[in-house]
Structure formats: structure tokens, C-alpha cells
Amino acid sequence: MLRHAIWIFAFFAVVPAQATEAGWALLRDGGHVVLLRHAMAQATTEPANFDIEKCSTQRNLTDRGAQQARKIGALFAARAAPIERVLSSRYCRTMETARLAFEDDIVEPFDALDPISKDEQTRKAQIQAIMKEIRDFSGSGNLILVTHLETISALTGVTAREGEAVIVRAQDEGLHVLGRIIFN
């Protein structure tokens, strides 16, 4: 029984590392699209007085989240993964993740990356806008889209941890997941 428990633990400890290494191999070549979930944030829901213009009314990065965002940027640099463009949800935690991880002057707010709307027409418009950016991208570096769990799930059908990168490519009407990078 103990032997099985050790094997299961070893398997799950190695699989993320292998997924992460395969993801880095893709990004070194450039030309890929990365859906990056914001770094670690406080709480789980927006405060009742939420205002997109005021960070004090939103969930924000924790100190650990800010460290995680800096680590993400440092690893992109150390792994020689070229960045061509960074688009971010307008929420403070996503903008801060993007700015701490990548050069502040290349971060652009992109409202389609905000959490997916519950209104079906708005949701459809958001997904179409994101898909257009992904399909139109043809750079030699990588396109980074900093967003939220709900948005990543709506686009790919997968969940992502805070600070996790999901590497995708457009395929037919949707996205195909090519790899993942977990930033602990």
C-alpha cells in the first residue's frame, strides 16, 4: 500500500514538471499564444462595491502573488522565451501581474479578457474578440494574454491555477491546448 502511495505521489510530482518543460520548449521558438491566469490574489469574489476604475474596490494580488508575477517574468527571460505583445484584462490583479512580469510599456488593456460575462451576447462578443486576436497573431515572439480562470475555461475547457500559463493555438472554431507551464 505504501509503495502504491509513493508511486502515485511521484507520478503527480513529475507530470507538472514534464508539462512545464514541454511548454518552455514551445515558447523558446516564439510564435505562440499564452493564456496566463493572473498571479495569486486575495479572496475569491469581487467586493460588493467593485469599480473597474478603483483597485481599492477589487480583489488584488497578495504579496505572494506579486512575487509570483515577478518570478514569471524572470523565468520568461531566463528561458529565453521572447515576448512580442502582452494584452491584459483591465482588472487590477491582471494588469499588475502583467506589469510585474513583463515590461510595463508593452502591456495593453484589452476588455475582452475581463471575466466572461453572464450575458450571452456579451460573452459571445468577448470570445470572438479574443479569438480574433489569437487568429490574427503571426509574430516571431509570443503573445501573452493575461486573464481570469473563467475566461481560460470558456476558451479552452480547462482550468488553470493562479499564475499558470496555458499555451494554445487556434483550431477550427476553438483553441487547442499545446502545453502548460505551472509557476509555483
- pLDDT surpasses 70 at 3: no
Per-residue pLDDT tens for 22-33? 899 999 999 999
The per-residue pLDDT for 109 is 98
Task: Note whether 156 and 175 are within 8 A (CB).
Answer: yes
- pLDDT surpasses 60 at 16: no
* Residue 94 or 2, more confident: 94
Per-residue pLDDT tens for 99-128? 999 988 899 999 999 999 999 999 999 999
| d(C-alpha 59, C-alpha 41), whole Å | 6
Structural domains of the chain sorted by starting position, each given as residue range(s) with its CATH number in brackets: 2-181 (3.40.50.1240)
What predicted TM-score, i.e. pTM, was given to this entire model?
A: 0.89
- Would you place residue 183 in the very low, low, confident or very high pLDDT band (cuts 50, 70, 90)? confident
- Would you place residue 12 in the very low, low, confident or very high pLDDT band (cuts 50, 70, 90)? very low
Helices 63-78 and 92-101 sit at what angle, rounded to 10 degrees? 40
What stretch of H or E contains 130? helix 120-136
Task: Write down the mean pLDDT value for the chain.
Answer: 90
Q: How many CB atoms lie within 10 A of CB 105?
A: 8
The per-residue pLDDT for 7 is 40
For cell 466572461, the residue is 116
The per-residue pLDDT for 18 is 55
Task: Note whether 65 and 39 are within 8 A (CB).
Answer: yes
